[in-house]
Amino acid sequence: MRFAAAVLRSYEERFAVEEVRLNEGPADGEVLVRIAGCGMCRTDLAVRRSGGRSPLPAVLGHEGAGVVAATGGTGTGLGVGDHVVLSFDSCGHCRSCLAAAPAYCDSFAPLNLFGGREEHAGRFTDAAGGELAPRWFGQSSFAEYAMVPARNAVRVDPSLPVELLGPLGCGFLTGAGAVLNSFGVAPGDTVAVFGAGAVGLAAVMAATAAGAVTVAVDRHPDRLALAERFRAIPLPAASTDLPAHVRRLTGGGARYALDTTGSAELINDALRSLRPAGHLGLVARLRTALPLEPGTLDRGRRISHICEGDAVPGLLVPRLIALWQAGRFPFDQLIRTYPLADINEAERDCDAGRVVKPVLIPEGLDTWSTPHP
C-alpha cells in the first residue's frame, strides 16, 4: 500500500513528506494503525544529534494514536476499528518485562532507537524502492499508517479525541509517570520540577492532581505562566541561589525533584533543593559529566534515572485519560496541531520554545499533489 509519511534522510536535512510504500501486511501479533495524530517528542529531534546510531532514512514519530486498520493473526487482542494510543516497544520476555518494567527492557535500545526487529528489514520503502528503517520506537508514526506490535497499542474509548492522545504514550507519560509511579507522590508532598517543557508540565499537572505543593523552574516566562496555571509556584531559573528558594517554598526542601533538562548545573541545584531522604529523578540524557558537590547525597538523598515514567503504558495511559476527563490532567492545553505537511515548521517552533507539544495530523496522499520541501 502507498501512503504519506515524513521521511528523514540525513541528520542535517529537513523532513520530506512524501509517498512511502508498505510491502507486507501485519505479521502475527502486529496491527496496522491509521494514524489520527502524532506528537513530536524531544527524542525525535535528538536523532539529529545521535551520532549516526539511529538508522536513516527513517520515518520517526513515536507518539502516535489512531484507528486499527488491520490485524495480524488472532492473538492481538485488538480488532479493526479499535482506537489505540501507541507507546514504546519492549520484548515482553526479559527479566524487566516480566517484572512489569518494560521501559528497562533488555532490548529497549535496539527495539526503539536502532530500527526495530531485523526480520522486518525492507518492509517499508520510498517511492523509488529505497529501503527505509523498519521501525522507530515500535511505530514510526509521522505517517498516515504505522505497523506496530499489538503489545505497544493501548485501546481507548472511541468517543475520545484520538488525534490528541498520542503524547500520552511518551512525553506526558514520562512526566506524569515519574510523579505517580516512580515517586508515588501523596497529598502534602513537595515536588520541584526543573524544566517546564512537555515532560515537566505533565509532571506539574500530575503533582497537582496528586495533591502536592509544586515548584516549577524554567527560564521561559511563558512556560512558568503555564506551570502557574497548573497550580505550580513559578520560579525563574535565573534566580540567584535557586536551591534556597526551593527550600523556602517547600518548607525545608522538596521531597521529590525531577530534572527534565539534562543540565549538570540544574541537576546540582535540584539535589541541593531536596530535603533529607529526598529523591531526585532524571529523565533527560545528561549533557555533560555530573560533578557532585560534597554533601549533596548525604542523609538519605538519592538520585535515579527514570525511563518512560516507569510506566506500563496499558495501565498509565487509561489512568491519565481518567484524570483528564475529571479535569485534573489538562494535557490538551499544551498541544498545538499542525498538518503533517508542516512538520518542519513544527520542529522549528518546538526548538524555539514557541510550542510545548506539537501534534502532527496526517492528511491523505490525495490531499496534496506537489512534494513538500
Site membership for Zn ion, residue 97 (CB under 5 A) = yes
Q: Which is nearer to Zn ion, 20 or 307 (CB)?
A: 307
Question: How many Cβ atoms sit within 10 Å of the Cβ of residue 231?
Answer: 15
| Segment contacting Zn ion by CB under 5 A, of 52-60, 94-102, 289-297, 354-362 | 94-102
Site membership for Zn ion, residue 94 (CB under 5 A) = yes
Q: Which is nearer to Zn ion, 105 or 311 (CB)?
A: 105
Cβ of residue 311: shortest distance to Zn ion, in angstroms? 12
Q: Which is nearer to Zn ion, 234 or 314 (CB)?
A: 314
Nearest to 19 by CA among 148, 166, 147, 145: 145
Using CB under 5 A, pick the residue from 43, 141, 182, 268 that binds Zn ion: 43
Site membership for Zn ion, residue 365 (CB under 5 A) = no
Site membership for Zn ion, residue 103 (CB under 5 A) = no
CB 258 within 8 A of CB 194: yes
Site membership for Zn ion, residue 41 (CB under 5 A) = yes
Question: How many Cβ atoms sit within 10 Å of the Cβ of residue 67?
Answer: 15
Cβ of residue 41: shortest distance to Zn ion, in angstroms? 3
Site membership for Zn ion, residue 47 (CB under 5 A) = no
Q: What is the DSSP string of 219-260?
A: S-HHHHHHHHHTTPEEEETTSTTHHHHHHHHTTSSEEEEEE-
Site membership for Zn ion, residue 105 (CB under 5 A) = yes
Q: What is the DSSP string of 4-66?
A: EEEEE-SSSSPPEEEEEEE-S-PPTTEEEEEEEEEE--HHHHHGGGSTT-S-SSEE---EEEE
Site membership for Zn ion, residue 152 (CB under 5 A) = no
Q: Which is nearer to Zn ion, 90 or 140 (CB)?
A: 90
Pairing of strands 145-149, 213-218: unpaired
Q: Alpha-carbon distance 316 to 311, whole Å?
A: 6
The number of residues that bind Zn ion (CB under 5 A) is 8
CB 207 within 8 A of CB 185: yes
Site string for Zn ion, 186-225 (x = CB under 5 A): ----------------------------------------
Cβ of residue 233: shortest distance to Zn ion, in angstroms? 27
Q: Which is nearer to Zn ion, 43 or 263 (CB)?
A: 43
- In terms of C-beta density within 10 A (0-12 exposed, 13-18 middle, 19 or more buried), how is residue 209 classed? buried
Kindly list the residues in this chain that would bind Zn ion in the complex (CB under 5 A). Answer: 41, 43, 90-91, 94, 97, 105, 170
